[in-house]
Amino acid sequence: MKQTLLLLTLLLALPLMGQSERQTIRSGELWPDNNGTHINAHGGGILKYGDTFYWYGEHKSDHTSNALVGVTCYASTDLLNWRYCGVALSVSDERGSDIERGCVLERPKVIFNPLTKKFCMWFHLELKGRGYNAARYGVAVSDRPEGPFRFLYSQRANAGTWPVEFGEKELATVDTLNAANFKEQWTPAWLKAVGEGLFVKRDFGTGQMSRDMTLYVDDDGKAYHIFSSEENLTLHIAELTGDYLHHTGRYTRVAPAGHNEAPAIFKHEGTYWMITSGCTGWAPNEARMFSAPSIWGPWTQHPNPCRGPKADLTFGGQSTFILTTDNGRRTTDNGQQTTDGGQRSVNNPQYIFMADIWRPQHPSDARYIWLPIEFEGGKPVVRWRDEWKPFSVKNT
């Protein structure tokens, strides 16, 4: 009987053998979840709720980047070992649905609203069968961090409103712009017209294009949607309503005609920092960096913050999110997060740069780059490390 019990115990333990807890972050390697499966949460972001981190991202299939499943969710208390929570937002099998299976659903981000007690998800959405012409954002909501999220709507951004910096002079300039006069693209005259609002005027009535995106919650609780617009030539920062489910109509433009996407933002000692990438499809390129004294600008561009092997290609990846966390101490009250820009300041914060190594021929095998952000001369630096340990586990 003892031998039988011993054998049974060993058989039950077999699935757990070889799945030892991860002790460090090793960028670019396979990152198994609690089931031993590579984490499938690409173009994602992280929300901290209570003592738990929730990682949301695109579920990638083996042979297509179109959305066949939806947005997945993983949970962790140490940022190293992740438990699969399932599909947080499922695509729809309803023909004609905005999120019909086979659409393009990218870069999901989730923030918690302390007033409504709702978890609010925003994402870049392209309608099925229309390539990248729709250029919409989508919004979903849930009562629980792991979901299920209920899809609310999708649309373009800020129809019928001008950017906050457009005064009488700028509006007079926009009024004279005529797309018919700029048929040849990438000329100095065309770039100047884009910077002055050529595409803003074109899309004024139907709404501004919204593609690669992130969300940011400032210290005062106000939230912002940051996205690539104007044919990916200009970034927009749009203020959200108090329930985090709509735009207020107030927005600003960043780096007009600069051709930026993949925005990731954080704030350090009163200065807003944003890391972006150029627009080269699935291929990596050199990261860009901007700073501003206010979310509304003015935004100043700085050199590439990356240091180390393949720094000129962002280590082979593309930015998706910057996680702000503390030194392992709980800093939330009633679920208010401190990791997505934060509604409360954190003591001794650590900033983690998150990026994706895309593999378009085998999308589900895309890898992750997570690296700590340091400061040199008052400016952020992202230095390559083969492996490292975040604050959340240094004292455990």
Is the pLDDT at 17 greater than 80? The verdict is no
Q: What pLDDT was estimated at residue 347?
A: 58
Per the CB < 8 A criterion, the answer to whether 207 and 156 are in contact is yes
Mean pLDDT of the residues in the chain: 91
Q: What pLDDT was estimated at residue 151?
A: 98
Q: Give mean pLDDT, residues 240-246.
A: 98
Q: Give mean pLDDT, residues 234-258.
A: 98
Q: Is the dihedral of CA 93, 99, 101, 102 positive or negative?
A: positive
Q: Give mean pLDDT, residues 349-375.
A: 97
Quote the pTM value: 0.90
| Annotated domain spans of the chain | 32-160+205-394, 168-200
Is the pLDDT at 331 greater than 60? The verdict is no
Among 199-203, 329-333, 342-346, the minimum mean pLDDT is found in 329-333
- What does DSSP assign to residue 241? P
Q: What pLDDT was estimated at residue 208?
A: 98
CATH topology of domain 32-160+205-394: Tachylectin-2; Chain A (2.115.10)
- What does DSSP assign to residue 395? T
Q: What pLDDT was estimated at residue 391?
A: 76
84's CB contacts (< 8 A; 6+ apart) are 33, 34, 35, 37, 72, 74
Q: Give mean pLDDT, residues 203-232.
A: 97
Element (H, E) at 161: none
Among 28-42, 90-104, 338-352, 367-381, the minimum mean pLDDT is found in 338-352
Q: What pLDDT was estimated at residue 327?
A: 53
Q: In whole angstroms, give the CA distance from residue 208 to residue 200.
A: 7
Task: Please identify which residue in the block is written with the tokens 């004609």.
Answer: 96
Q: What pLDDT was estimated at residue 326?
A: 73
Surface-to-core class of residue 10, CB atoms within 10 Å of its CB (0-12 exposed, 13-18 middle, 19+ buried): exposed
Rg of the chain taking only CA atoms, in angstroms: 22
Among 131-145, 261-275, 380-394, the minimum mean pLDDT is found in 380-394
Is the pLDDT at 216 greater than 50? The verdict is yes
E strands, 156-281, are 213-217, 223-229, 234-240, 247-254, 261-268, 271-277
